[in-house]
Structure 1
Amino acid sequence: MSQQIVFVQAPSESLQRLQAENAQLQRYLAAQRSVIASLERRAGRSLESMGVHVKQLTSAFTDPVKWDQHLESMQNEVDRLCDLISDALLLQKLEAGKVDLKLEPLNLKLVLSSISRHLLDPKDGSATRFVSKVDPALPIALVDQELTEAVLMDLLARGLKYSDASFPVVLEAEQVDDRVHVCVTAPKICSSWE
């Protein structure tokens, strides 16, 4: 009677490390595809909107009020597209390691309060559109203060500039597991076309 012996080799440490790196790269690639698809959609919407405004500009040539409205809408789309390109370039620089990050432990509640405090009481007498929903028990976070403040201030400014003036712009921050989720929500402007 013959017996067969089968040796099963346990995965080596280097193979396990390689598999973990592969899984991480696959997640990174999926995230990249998602970002690129989002950028393409947003750029497409801006270009389509600009095309509509150009057509409407030519038909509104004799009506100065309509001309100014369409020209202003066109400028808003140009500004949005410029912001999108700027964001994409910054993202590319971050991924390429061309932006030096100065990570330091910071109290995010204080940072969020300092960048948004002026929005709670507008000096021009306009109604307050800003709503802050920041969890008072946010943990200390390891972030680049200057970059974090710049990004959040930019998001808030864009939210107020490009959203429907009859709806609030909301800044939310909460701890989820070992991370802090910060979200700026602003309803899009709903435009009607003639």
Structure 2
Amino acid sequence: MRKSVRYILNGLTLPVFVVDPDRKISFINKSAKMRYHEAYTGQFFNELITSKKCLDALELVLNGEPNATANVILQEVVPTSFRVSLSRLDADSEPLPSCVLSFEDISHIQEAEQMRHDFVANVSHELRSPLTALSGFVETLQGAAANDKVARERFLDMMSNEADRMARLIGDLLSLSKLQASERVAPTDRVDLFRILSSVSSSLSGLADANKVKLKLDFSNSMPLVTGDSDELTQVFQNLIENAIKYSGNGSTVSVSFAPPKQGKSHLCIMVEDTGEGIEPTQIPRLTERFYRVDKGRSRAQGGTGLGLAIVKHILIRHRGWLKISSQLEKGSIFAVYLPVSKEKD
């Protein structure tokens, strides 16, 4: 193989092998050496790569086909998906062709496709449930309850609740889609968190009273301004404080407090803490996944769509902040929001 070809193959970021007519590896580029430390020239290729799909494609090319492709899963540290591209390499000095194989890691594409599939399945399920309920109520109203005023009012009230649930779900889906489309662009406004937290806490005081939850506020108007979008940050704290009130239980306390940036750091912290039943440690990493619920029945009963914390996560990503969740069973949970302090404008 010519030096110029070797230089080109070594410059590629994909792992590349050249396999000779005897099915032995005759060349390994730098990327392949970094990924497959055990590979060596002169090694039979099927000792390194055992995938039948890949080996069948290799046979096709060595037996005359100019090109072939194969999607394979190879066991590395974790099972990894690759798109293998194979091309015939003819050399004047060799009577039989060799084969160039490049390995493109497509695991992220497969994962994205699986996420899309799961998302569509979840949305379909979440919309089907209230639609099924509405259909059942309509059928009942057209039949046995047609002339029953009390039953009619009760069913109409339930239909209204199901319609509201669908509206919340669609609204959250649109919010999430908008956030994901714009999260690369950070907001630039200077926002007063004291006003936002005061407004949200005031609007939720009635809910706290209804749930017999004490709402404790520990922040002042001396908080520094943050860089952000006022409406989106209102949505963050509305979601977190409302969740804490709804799920902490009667007689519990929900505290909203502020911690200034640590020495040399640029992010302040707002903590929403409750004294509820806590969350299993194994469930905490999944709380910001779309449609993930710790208690599905309880969440739906409270009017939850399963998208609230996913929206919070994406808002904070756009704000170049983050959410940290900690919890202890029977003691409560803390949702800590970190946001960048706004720099003084010249």
Compute the TM-score of the two structures, normalised by the length of structure 2: 0.35
Match for residue 168 of structure 2 among 62, 79, 83: 83
Superimposed CA distance per residue, residues 111-138 of structure 1 (whole angstroms, 9 cap, x where no aligned partner)? 9965653377428x95335588xxxxxx
1:189 aligns to what?
301
RMSD between aligned residues: 5.4
Counterpart secondary structure, 1:28: helix
- Structure 2 counterpart of 1:128, one-letter code: N
1:56 aligns to what?
140
Match for residue 46 of structure 1 among 99, 109, 130: 130
> Relative to structure 1, is the Cα distance of residues 117 and 70 closer, same or farther in structure 2, using a 3 angstrom cutoff?
same
Structure with the higher fraction of residues in helix conformation: 1
Superimposed CA distance per residue, residues 131-190 of structure 1 (whole angstroms, 9 cap, x where no aligned partner)? 88xxxxxxxx99755314225526876998xx89x979999969x9xx9x6799754339
Counterpart secondary structure, 1:147: helix
* Paired-residue identity, %: 20
Cα distance in structure 2, aligned partners of 1:23 and 1:104: 38
Q: Which runs of 5+ in 2 are unaligned?
A: 1-23, 33-102, 216-225, 256-270, 274-280, 303-346
Contact 1:102 1:144 in 2 (8 A): yes
- Structure 1 counterpart of 2:134, one-letter code: M
User: Aligned residues, how many?
Assistant: 168
Cα distance in structure 1, aligned partners of 2:195 and 2:108: 31
Match for residue 117 of structure 2 among 10, 33, 36: 33
Contact 1:131 1:168 in 2 (8 A): yes
Counterpart secondary structure, 1:67: helix
Superimposed CA distance per residue, residues 40-93 of structure 1 (whole angstroms, 9 cap, x where no aligned partner)? 101110110101111222222222121111001101111111222222223333
Structure with the higher fraction of residues in strand conformation: 2
| Greater Cα offset, 42-51 or 145-154 | 145-154
Q: Highest Rg: 1 or 2?
A: 2
Q: Which runs of 5+ in 1 are unaligned?
A: 13-17, 133-140
Counterpart secondary structure, 1:7: strand
Compute the TM-score of the two structures, normalised by the length of structure 1: 0.55
Cα distance in structure 2, aligned partners of 1:153 and 1:72: 26
Contact 1:119 1:128 in 2 (8 A): no
> Relative to structure 1, is the Cα distance of residues 72 and 122 closer, same or farther in structure 2, using a 3 angstrom cutoff?
same
> Relative to structure 1, is the Cα distance of residues 149 and 121 closer, same or farther in structure 2, using a 3 angstrom cutoff?
closer
Cα distance in structure 2, aligned partners of 1:145 and 1:122: 23
1:92 aligns to what?
177
2:156 aligns to what?
71
Alpha-carbon distance, 1:95 to partner: 3.5
- Structure 1 counterpart of 2:201, one-letter code: R
Cα distance in structure 1, aligned partners of 2:227 and 2:244: 26
1:10 aligns to what?
30
